[in-house]
Amino acid sequence: MCFLQKTMDELPQLKIGFIGAGNMAYGIAKGILTPGDVVASNVTVSAPSKNNFARFEKMGVTLTHSNEEVVQTSRLVFLAVKPHLIPAVLKAVSAHVTPQHVVVSVAAGVTLATLEGLLPGGSCVMRLMPNLPCMLQEGALVLARGTGCTQEVASQLKDLLSPCGLVEVGPESWIDAHTGLSGSGVAFVYVFAEALAEGAVKMGMPSVLAQRIAAQTILGAGHLLRDGEKHPAQLKAEVCTPGGTTVYGLHALEKGGLRAAVVDAVEAATQRARELGGAKRVEETR
């Protein structure tokens, strides 16, 4: 039987664990619990200190300092710790991982091959790359499955995670590109929002108001892009009028090299994610 039961009526029996209590663990846990199908008391979260426990306490989940307890009491386990901690964490808990477990890592750069090598042979392992807006259930997540996981399990996990935002399943090669596009891309959008607001301040608008309007502009444009089923170029054309303000502004952006800079930023972030994965593989073979 797969880790998710066949009907939603049986989801209250699903035991879910999180090793790590940071922002990604919080966002994913909140998304999973939002529909009300999973019972909060069946979710266990571990961390070495109580610093991040307060917001989890409000959810009603079980809290512990023992990673082993998380694995022993859960069937679906999310590894939500920093990448450099993964080898030590898995070494400590691997003896408790059984064929019935599904282990999902959200650690950037840690490959499926690395994860599988640190766990018992045949373990069902997946990589999940979320982004910060998961905390508001507006995330973008990409999921890749290891050799020990079936497509059915991946599809079930996708359904379980769907309240967190957009969830896509694909090859592991997508994970690093998604890190550059959406994981790091959130910060790129914040830089753009900051610049938009600064432009308005330069033109005489109060700073606080400019920041609010910049945020709403990005939010509204994002909704149109996501829900309108139109290519960005088409939406851009609909805003432009011959000789109007927008086309003049776009010309200034093109002269400043915005398009090339954004492409370079995504490429650089993606390449760095690949380098981090390569560095970990080299370190583990020493």
Binding residue numbers: 19-24, 67, 80-83
CA angle 146, 149, 153 (to 5 degrees): 125
| Per-residue tokens: 225 | 């892009």
Strand order in the sheet with 102-105: 62-64, 43-46, 16-19, 76-79, 102-105, 124-129, 139-145, 165-169
Q: Helix 185-202 vs helix 207-227: angle between axes, to the nearest 10 degrees?
A: 130
Q: Helix 258-285 vs helix 245-255: angle between axes, to the nearest 10 degrees?
A: 50
Strand partners, 188: none
Residues with Cβ within 8 Å of residue 13, at least 6 apart in sequence: 5, 42
Q: Pick out the residues of the known binding site for NADPH.
A: 67
Q: Pick out the residues of the known binding site for NADP(+).
A: 19-24, 80-83
Instruction: Tell me, letter by letter, the H, E, C secondary structure of 218-230.
Output: HHHHHHHHHHCCC
